[in-house]
């Protein structure tokens, strides 16, 4: 039995755990919270490897480039692609919200207002990229600061040359060790996914979405459309590979993202999938994916755009064309600053709704209305975020001639 278990592809085991978790959670109800600790333990395990994995693989990858100028080229292409996919996601979300009109006829009078977190100023976000103490940044898991420091270490080692060879060897060995630990942790994934999904199904479940059918339909449809149109188009027309081969390769990371609702927690799996399933070289994967987990929030941008239009419709606020442009612009900034943890976008959307003239009281009511059923939708949009990270990494790898198409086309299994 053990042999059959380990010989079964990981994505199949995770998918079985997802289905079984939904069934058990639905039958068990609120009591499913008693096994949530298993899911929390799994999240802690993969969170444990995030910081050392990102730091060492990024330093090792930069040194492997052999040319500091290549990092600049790779960074510009990555940022440009992330911005383009974010704008595409917002556009899809706003158009769907206008067509489906999920806020028309919704009564928010009985909703208990939620607590609204103030948006972090853009200048503060930019300042936090430069760590005042690199050790503290590593301890706190500040990914953008870690990326900044790792880039400095990698580039300086690259420029130093032979004298920095011990640092290069250490980074390469450490990254291999962390990837091995990640693969071991992934063997726990089916059990963690089962516990998390059973808990969500038992305490919230699909029934939570029935109160807001049109809003849920708009968000789910938007996520599926973004993946089908944007990500598939990138594969077919830019990379010129089979979109289905890409989705097969990405499925382990997508399923883990769905269960954890955290791009950050899923990052070790995403990095492993990028290299082992999609044939993306460590040089590209270790640069593009950690950055994407921090600034690429396609699903979040789509969600915030839809909810903003939903809120305006619910309160009878007439939106002009310029208002939709404001929503798109503000959502782009908000999505970049969204923490890669479950539920963060619920509070950060306050900045977008405020930009179209909604009062703090109205925003608090909308947040209170959304919170009870946010988790199932958060699972959907996090899957889109992670799939988007891998799609952009694949495109950049193709442009940089760092994509192994033989690995990409092969049967995928971690």
Residues 198-246 have pLDDT tens digits of 888 888 666 555 657 888 899 999 999 999 999 999 999 999 999 999 9
Q: How large a percentage of the chain has pLDDT more than 70? A: 89
* 59-68, 231-240, 262-271, 280-289: the lowest-pLDDT one: 59-68
The C-alpha atoms of residue 290 and residue 310 are separated, in whole angstroms, by: 32
Residue whose C-alpha is closest to residue 54's, from 137, 167, 133: 137
- Run of H or E residues at 237: none
May I ask the CATH architecture of the domain 2-409?
Orthogonal Bundle (1.10)
Q: What's the confidence (pLDDT) of residue 113?
A: 66
Q: What pLDDT band is residue 116 in, cutting at 50, 70 and 90?
A: low
Give the residues across from 183 on adjacent strands. Answer: none
The C-alpha atoms of residue 313 and residue 212 are separated, in whole angstroms, by: 14
3-class SS of residue 83: helix
Q: What's the confidence (pLDDT) of residue 373?
A: 76
Count of CB atoms situated within 10 Å of the CB of 106: 18
Of residues 281 and 335, more confidence is placed in 281
The C-alpha atoms of residue 123 and residue 313 are separated, in whole angstroms, by: 32
Of residues 54 and 387, more confidence is placed in 387
pTM of the model as a whole: 0.82
Does the pLDDT of residue 272 top 80, yes or no?
yes
Domain ranges (residues) in the chain: 2-409
Q: What pLDDT band is residue 125 in, cutting at 50, 70 and 90?
A: low
| 58 CA to centre of own chain | 19
Does the pLDDT of residue 196 top 60, yes or no?
yes
Count of CB atoms situated within 10 Å of the CB of 258: 22
Cα-Cα end-to-end distance for the chain: 20
């Amino acid at each position: 039995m053990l042999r059959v278990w380990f010989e079964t592809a990981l994505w199949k085991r995770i998918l079985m755990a997802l289905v079984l978790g939904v069934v058990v959670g639905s039958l068990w109800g609120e009591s499913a919270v008693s096994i949530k600790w298993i899911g929390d333990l799994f999240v802690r395990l993969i969170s444990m490897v995030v910081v050392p994995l990102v730091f060492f693989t990024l330093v090792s990858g930069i040194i492997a480039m052999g040319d500091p100028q290549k990092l600049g080229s790779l960074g510009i292409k990555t940022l440009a692609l992330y911005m383009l996919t974010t704008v595409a996601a917002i556009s899809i979300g706003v158009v769907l919200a206008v067509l489906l009109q999920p806020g028309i006829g919704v009564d928010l009078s009985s909703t208990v207002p939620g607590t609204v977190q103030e948006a972090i100023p853009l200048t503060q976000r930019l300042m936090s990229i430069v760590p005042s103490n690199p050790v503290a940044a590593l301890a706190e898991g500040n990914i953008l600061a870690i990326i900044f420091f790792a880039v400095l270490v990698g580039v300086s080692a690259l420029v130093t040359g032979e004298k920095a060879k011990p640092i290069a060897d250490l980074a390469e060995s450490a990254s291999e060790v962390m990837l091995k630990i990640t693969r071991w942790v992934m063997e726990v994934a089916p059990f963690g996914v089962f516990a998390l999904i059973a808990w969500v199904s038992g305490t919230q479940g699909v029934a939570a979405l029935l109160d807001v059918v049109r809003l849920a339909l708009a968000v789910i449809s938007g996520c599926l459309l973004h993946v089908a149109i944007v990500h598939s188009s990138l594969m077919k027309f830019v990379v010129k590979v089979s979109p289905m081969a890409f989705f097969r390769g990405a499925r382990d990371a997508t399923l883990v993202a769905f269960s954890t609702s955290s791009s950050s927690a899923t990052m070790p799996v995403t990095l492993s999938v990028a290299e082992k399933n999609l044939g993306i070289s460590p040089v590209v994967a270790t640069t593009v994916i950690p950055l994407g987990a921090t600034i690429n929030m396609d699903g979040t941008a789509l969600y915030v755009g839809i909810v903003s239009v939903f809120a305006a419709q619910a309160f009878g606020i007439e939106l002009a064309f310029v208002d939709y442009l404001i929503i798109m612009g503000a959502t782009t900034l908000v999505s970049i600053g969204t923490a890669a943890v479950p539920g963060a976008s619920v509070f950060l959307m306050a900045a977008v709704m405020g930009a179209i003239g909604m009062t703090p009281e109205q925003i608090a009511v909308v947040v209170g209305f959304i919170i009870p059923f946010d988790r199932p939708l958060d699972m959907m949009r996090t899957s889109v975020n992670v799939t988007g990270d891998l799609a952009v990494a694949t495109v950049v790898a193709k442009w940089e001639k760092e994509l192994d198409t033989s690995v990409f086309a092969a049967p995928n299994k971690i």
